[in-house]
C-alpha cells in the first residue's frame, strides 16, 4: 500500500491539493496528515481526490469543533483523530503525532513500524533502532504549505518501507 504523508498545510489549500493530486498520480491510496491544518475548510480540496484521509491537529489547532464536524460531513472520507492516533494499514502499525520529539520516542518503543510527525517544516527520514532489537521508521514530510521553505510531501510504500520526499508541483 502506498501512502501520502503530509504535515503543516497551514491553510494553504492550493498546495495541499497539488500535493495530493501528485501523490495520487504516483499511486497513493491513503493520506496521512500529521497536523497543523489550521482551518478545517482547508481539507475540502481533498474531496476531489476521493482518498481516505487520517488527520491530527498539531499545535496550530484552529477550530477543533469545526474540524470534527467537517470530518463527520465528509461521508467517511476524512477521519479526524485529535492529537495523535495509532493506525493499522495493511500489516503495518503506524503512529501519527505532530511533534518530532514524541515521534522519535515512540519509534524507540518498537511498537510501530512507522511513526510520522511534522512541526519542524523540514523533511527527513530516520531508521531508528528500537528497544525490541528491530527498526522503526520515523519520518517527517516537511511542510506541504511551504511555510518558510519549499513545499514538500512524502510518499511511502508500506510493503517495502521505502520513503521519498517530493516538492509540491506548482502549475
Please give the grid coordinates belonging to residue 40.
478545517
Per-residue HEC secondary structure of 35-92 comes to: CCCCCHHHHHHHHHHCCCEEECCCCCCCCHHHHHHHHHCCCCCEEECCCEEEEEECCE
Q: List, in order of start, the domains of the chain with CATH numbers.
A: 2-167 (3.60.21.10)
Whole-Å CA distances, 88 to 38, 79, 121: 25, 14, 26
Per-residue model confidence as pLDDT tens for the chain (171 residues): 999 999 999 999 999 999 999 999 999 999 999 999 988 888 889 999 999 999 998 888 777 777 788 877 888 899 999 999 999 999 999 999 999 999 999 999 999 999 999 999 999 999 999 999 999 999 999 999 999 999 999 999 999 999 999 999 987
Cell numbers linked to 11: 491553510
Determine whether 5 is exposed, middle or buried from the number of CB atoms within 10 Å of its CB (0-12, 13-18, 19+): buried
Q: Give Cα 2 to chain centroid, integer Å.
A: 13
Q: What's the pLDDT at 111?
A: 98
Amino acid at each position: 500500500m502506498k501512502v501520502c504523508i503530509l504535515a503543516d498545510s497551514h491553510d494553504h489549500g492550493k498546495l495541499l491539493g497539488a500535493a495530493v493530486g501528485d501523490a495520487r498520480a504516483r499511486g497513493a491510496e491513503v493520506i496521512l496528515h500529521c497536523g497543523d491544518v489550521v482551518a478545517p475548510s482547508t481539507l475540502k480540496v481533498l474531496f476531489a481526490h476521493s482518498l481516505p484521509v487520517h488527520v491530527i491537529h498539531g499545535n496550530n489547532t484552529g477550530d477543533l469543533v469545526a474540524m470534527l464536524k467537517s470530518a463527520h460531513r465528509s461521508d467517511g472520507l476524512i477521519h479526524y483523530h485529535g492529537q495523535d492516533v495509532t493506525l493499522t494499514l495493511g500489516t503495518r502499525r503506524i503512529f501519527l503525532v505532530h511533534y518530532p520529539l514524541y515521534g522519535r520516542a515512540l519509534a524507540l518503543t518498537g511498537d510501530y513500524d512507522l511513526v510520522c510527525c511534522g512541526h519542524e517544516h523540514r523533511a527527513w527520514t530516520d531508521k531508528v533502532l528500537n528497544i525490541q532489537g528491530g527498526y522503526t521508521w520515523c519520518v517527517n514530510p516537511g511542510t506541504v504549505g511551504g511555510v518558510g521553505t519549499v513545499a514538500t510531501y512524502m510518499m511511502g510504500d508500506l510493503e517495502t518501507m521505502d520513503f521519498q520526499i517530493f516538492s509540491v508541483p506548482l502549475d
